[in-house]
Chain A
Amino acid sequence: MAVSGRDGRAGQDVLRRVGEASVLILISLADGPKHGYALIHDIKALAGVELGPGTLYGALDRLERLGLIEPLPADDRRHPYRITAPGAAALRVHLDSLERVSAAGRLRLRLGGI
């Protein structure tokens, strides 16, 4: 079931249940299209997470089914992917949500004197 552009703007965090790998892939694709090998390297550089190739393809398929990314014409044997408008909106909502949780966590740590 694809996610429409409106879902992201409506404030529904559709990425809450897709898993960390999918979120990292969307963040990596946010600055331009990439294929699998480039995604693995970029995610390792930006988050220190080594995505296994099996995990990568599972997450790519899921994000594509949700309409959050789309494949571009194959470059040799490699299929680059790009983030779609609903994907960008969903990522923004998810990052806002993480920011709120992060801020609340930091505030509580200060309040608790830890």
Chain B
Amino acid sequence: MDEARATRLVEAVLRCYPARWRRRHGQEAAELAALLIRDGTPAGSIAWSYLAGAAREWLTPRPGRRLSTLACALLVAAGSLGISAGLLASTVPAKAAVTSPALRPAHGQPGPLEPAGVIPALGRPRVISQEARHGRSR
């Protein structure tokens, strides 16, 4: 890796640190990385060390960092996970067009599209998992 690319890599990783840390150590850390690269230390190992340091910096509770900030970050992370899970779940019923009321036959008349495996209490057709299985097998 040439020096310019190595410097760009380290600079990108240094941006992962909190702003407070960058204000304090940012310039010195970039200069230290440049010196170490010149000494022959692989840029990848320097970048990895800074990346691990940035993760530690974010995860270590600081007196200046308010608990509410950490709580918000956790809530956002949990919310993102929840939304992702929700989106994943919602794509599956969308495939099960047979559950749509418009396609259902009149009450009491067995129709060809009536899903045999609907669990009434959950409203979730069992056929979904079979579809999913078909999808995977392809």
Tell me if chain B binds chain A.
yes
Query: Do residues A77 and B51 form an inter-chain contact, with CB atoms below 8 A?
Result: no
Query: Do residues A52 and B49 form an inter-chain contact, with CB atoms below 8 A?
Result: yes
For residue A58, which residues in chain B have a CB less than 8 angstroms away from its CB?
Answer: 53, 56-57
Contact flag A52-B46 (CB < 8 Å), given A37-B35, A58-B56: yes
Contact flag A55-B28 (CB < 8 Å), given A37-B35, A40-B36: no
Measured as residues with beta carbon below 8 angstroms from the partner, the interface class of chain B is 20 to 34
Contact flag A77-B50 (CB < 8 Å), given A40-B36, A58-B56, A58-B57: no
Q: Which residues 44-82 of B have a CB within 8 angstroms of A?
A: 45-46, 48-54, 56-57
Query: Do residues A57 and B36 form an inter-chain contact, with CB atoms below 8 A?
Result: no
B32 touches which one: A37, A50, A55, A61 (CB < 8 A)? A37
Query: Do residues A52 and B45 form an inter-chain contact, with CB atoms below 8 A?
Result: yes
Q: Which residues 48-80 of A have a CB within 8 angstroms of B?
A: 50, 52-55, 57-58, 61, 77-79
B interface vs A, CB < 8 Å? 21, 25, 27-29, 31-33, 35-36, 41, 45-46, 48-54, 56-57
